[in-house]
Amino acid sequence: MVIRADDGGSREGELSNGGTDRGQLLLVGAVAIAIIFLALVVVFNTVLFTDSTSPTESLESAEEARSFEEQVRNDTRRIMYDVANETGAAPISPTPGGCSLSLATGSINNNWECYAADNISRYSLMMATSYADTGPVYVDVDVLDISMDSTELEAEIRVTYRTNDFSYTNTMVVTTSAP
C-alpha cells in the first residue's frame, strides 16, 4: 500500500489519535457506570433504612397485645365464673391439704380463691406455650391478688406481652358474680 503525502498525515498519527478518542470514550463510560452504580446503592440503602425503621411491626404488635389482653380478660372472667359457680369442668384442685399458692400482693383466704388462682396460673402456662409455638412471643398472666365475697369473685392480674421489638404490661381487675 502506498501512502501519499497529500492525504493530511500518516497512518501512524491517525491510529494514535483514534486510540486517544477511544480511551476518552472508555473513561466517560466508566464514570457514567460508576455514577449509576452509586445512585442505585443510595436508593437501595434508603429503602432498607425506611423498612427497618418502619413503625408497622410495632403497631401490629400493639394491636396483638391489646387483643391478647382482651382475650385474657374474657377467659379469666370465665374461669373465675366457672370456679365460683361450680359450672363447666370441675375446678382443678391444688395440692391436698390446703392451698400452696402465694400471690405477689394479696393472700388467699378460702379454697375457691385458691382454685381460681390455680386455674388462672395453669391458663397462663397454656397461653405461654400456645403463643411461643407461633413465633418469638412471650406472654404471661400473673395473679397479683384474688378475693371472694358474697356477691363477686375479684382478681387483680398483670398481663405481659413481649416480642423482640415490643413490650406491653398492664395490670387490670377482673370481676365475676359469685354464687
All cell numbers assigned to 136? 418469638
Residues 121 and 143 in one domain: yes
* pLDDT, mean of residues 57-62: 75
Tell me whether residue 6 is in a domain. no
- Assess if residue 2 is contained within a domain: no
> Residue 136: inside a domain, yes or no?
yes
Same domain, 135 and 63: yes
Do 32 and 62 lie in a common domain?
Answer: no
Residue found by looking up cell 491517525 in the block: 14
- Full residue range of the structural domain in which residue 116 is found: 56-177
> Given this model, what pLDDT does residue 54 score?
53
* Same domain (yes/no): 87, 162: yes
- Do 159 and 129 sit in the same domain of this protein? yes
Going by pLDDT thresholds of 50, 70 and 90, the confidence category of residue 100 is low
pLDDT in tens, 126-150: 999 988 888 888 999 988 888 877 7
pLDDT classification of 18: cutoffs 50, 70, 90 = low
Q: CA-CA distances (angstroms) from residue 150 to 15, 51, 177? A: 109, 55, 9
Ramachandran category for residue 144: left, alpha or beta (phi over 0 → left; psi -120 to 50 → alpha): alpha
C-alpha cell at 133: 409455638
- Shared domain for 79 and 134, answered yes or no, is yes
Same domain as 149, residue 130: yes
What pLDDT band is residue 116 in, cutting at 50, 70 and 90? confident
Spatial separation of the C-alpha atoms in residues 59 and 61, rounded to whole Å: 5
Residue 99, domain member (yes or no): yes
Q: Is residue 4 included in any domain, yes or no? A: no
Q: Is the pLDDT of residue 108 over 60?
A: no
Do the beta carbons of residue 164 and residue 137 sit within 8 Å?
no
- Core vs surface per residue 70-104: b (16+ CB within 10 A) or e: eebeebbbebbbbbbeeeeeebeebeeeebebebe
What mean pLDDT comes out for the span 165-169?
A: 86
What is the pLDDT at residue 37? 94
Average pLDDT over residues 2-6: 52
Q: Are residues 73 and 155 in the same domain?
A: yes
Clarify whether residues 61 and 21 are in a common domain: no
d(CA 38, CA 146): 64
Q: Do 40 and 93 lie in a common domain?
A: no
If asked whether residues 45 and 65 sit together in one domain, one would say no
Domain count, the chain: 2
> Cβ-count burial of 146 within 10 angstroms (0-12 exposed, 13-18 middle, 19+ buried)?
buried
Which residue type occupies 128?
A
Do residues 121 and 82 both lie within one domain? yes
Q: Is 1 part of any domain? A: no
Which of 36, 52, 68 is at the close of a domain? 52
Strand 138-148 to 167-177 pairing: unpaired
